[in-house]
Structure 1
């Protein structure tokens, strides 16, 4: 039976990837900070087939030896985790950028040591879309790379870290004859499997409370009416499985079927859930348009849910978890 390791298994996207893998008959090695932390990882143990085929390993992206232990014996790895600083960030270069790059390097070196056949790295649309020199009239696709130097100058550390890590992973694969594929999702909404809130669901929850906090993920200033690219967490997990299982999958894949402005998203939420206090701030019109295509991943056989379905399921899960009154 094939063994696949998922890094950061307790996280939002990774949990759904674990669920998908277990559902398809794989044995899963999940890396987590603390396997005994029921609040962060208890939901994984309740997944169908988890008792027989899920093994949690105490591992840290910055601890190469622990990654080697988790990845040993695996034929594939889905690398989802990104080191997240605990508490307030005082030095983003040291606390966000450098750990993101070092963590991916450690994963790739552990994959090389374990003779892993295939690695799927979760990157981000932010590793694609922040490129001032990309022609405005040209649709962004997998050939468009975020300008890491520009991001560092403008202090978009998450964007820079994702772009550098993804590029390094692809180059490492070519150099060492490992099949490396990257997937670049956008803002991920949809039902949580875990009980702790992730960044994007905090943003959604904030919108219900009258606060616009899209600047939490380095898109831009929250006071601008910007394009928000969105993908359902379940569709994102399916994209990772397609990238892993399809022999023809190669290079990078953009994964974001929906894009709409902040105001339009708030209006859609109002139509679906009229009983909340939405932001009433006057948002400045942004001239920046996010013009990209997901044609490449669609050609792998990927499809996706409607945005309305994603939002309804997100809210239902939040209500179940007692996060919404």
Structure 2
């Protein structure tokens, strides 16, 4: 197996993407060092310890993003660090404390620990399309966004898009540190992540899907969603390590669709709940004005899950975990 005998580290391992990353790494026979904020919190540990292969090849470490040296033990002896740990919040009272410091200082603390490890081959950073296409003029008719696009941090600050600011600052800090310290950094920029949950807690994007499904509450003002399956996102991270030629940023977006199209799919999957009544202008859906390039993602070997499958799997997972009733 590909991962046999290889030790890797996943930070923030109890999170939505990271939990799937740990699962798929174990499935590929990697030995995984996984960091969580508290070893005493069963919500952060039990679902990880229950994964196939966890008993033999998973070790949990407690680590704090804001404490330098906190990740030393977890990254020691690893060939790759997957840094996923970063807060995902939108409404914040103190963006510096709640978002910016954990994102930026946390990233630098993880990279400082990684830079001490001689066995390390690569760092794979979980960034976001938040660093790619916010605060800039997007294509209006059939254009394409790709990895050469960069969000405008000044506009994001002025419009108080603090999550986007945190991801921009963290990605910039990671690139700068990696260049100065000769670290091989590969960046993953996923869109709006959906799909089944492994963790017992409700994450931000899944909560947004619940709001959209149950009362039509839009997460994004323009109603355009850059969807990607959590499983595709996790495998993209792994391929970013396994492919020696991988470099730079990678937009990971399966489909760009309008919320009305999501509602139409729900109406087809769950016809008894009358979702079609919420679709504007009957069955007509305005085309989306732009797409996100899949060239680099597919170059890694990512095969995107059809969004109808992702949406159904999301809903069924939320029902199973009793986060919503349909």
Q: Is this a same-fold pair by TM over 0.5?
A: yes
Matches within 5 A, 1:85-104: 89-104=92-107
Q: Deviations over 1:4-49 (max 9, x none)?
A: 1101101110000001111111110111011232123211001001
Q: TM-score, normalised by structure 2?
A: 0.89
Aligned counterparts of 2:165 and 2:255: Cα–Cα separation in 1: 23
Return the alpha-carbon distance in structure 2 between the equivalents of residues 40 and 275 of structure 1.
Answer: 36
| Separation in 2, partners of 1:94, 1:60 | 14
**Structure 2: where are the runs of 5+ without partners?**
none
Distance 1:200 1:90 in 2: 20
Q: Does 1:263 align with 2:226?
A: no
8 Å Cα contact 1:227/1:289 also seen in 2: no
- Structure 1: segments with no counterpart, 5+ residues: none
CA distance in 2 between partners of 1:154 and 1:289 (Å) = 22
Paired with 2:11 and 2:322, the residues of 1 have a C-alpha distance of 28
Is 1:206 the counterpart of 2:211? The answer is: yes
TM superposition shift of 1:88? 6.8
Partner Cα separation in structure 1 for residue 135 and residue 87 of structure 2: 24
Q: How does 1:1-325 map to 2 (within 5 A)?
A: 1-83=5-87, 89-115=92-118, 116-132=120-136, 139-214=144-219, 219=220, 221=221, 224=222, 226-276=223-273, 278=275, 280=278, 289-325=289-325
Distance 1:92 1:136, change over 3 A: same
The offset of 1:94, in angstroms, is 3.4
Give the Å deviation of 1:135: 6.5
DSSP 3-state at the match of 1:129: coil
Structure 2 vs 1, CA of residues 189 and 95 (structure 1 numbering), >3 Å: closer, same or farther?
A: same
CA displacement, residues 93-115 of structure 1 (integer Å, 9 cap, x when unaligned): 33212321111111111111223
Q: 1:191·1:318 contact (CA, 8 Å) conserved in 2? A: yes
Looking at structure 2, the residues matched to 207 and 149 of structure 1 have their Cα atoms a distance apart, in angstroms, of 30
Task: State the alpha-carbon separation in 2 of the partners of residues 244 and 163 from structure 1.
Answer: 22
1:2: how far off? 1.4
Identify which range, 75-84 or 52-61, moves more after superposition: 75-84
Report Cα offsets for 1:154-186 as digits up to 9, x if no partner: 111111111121122123222221110000001
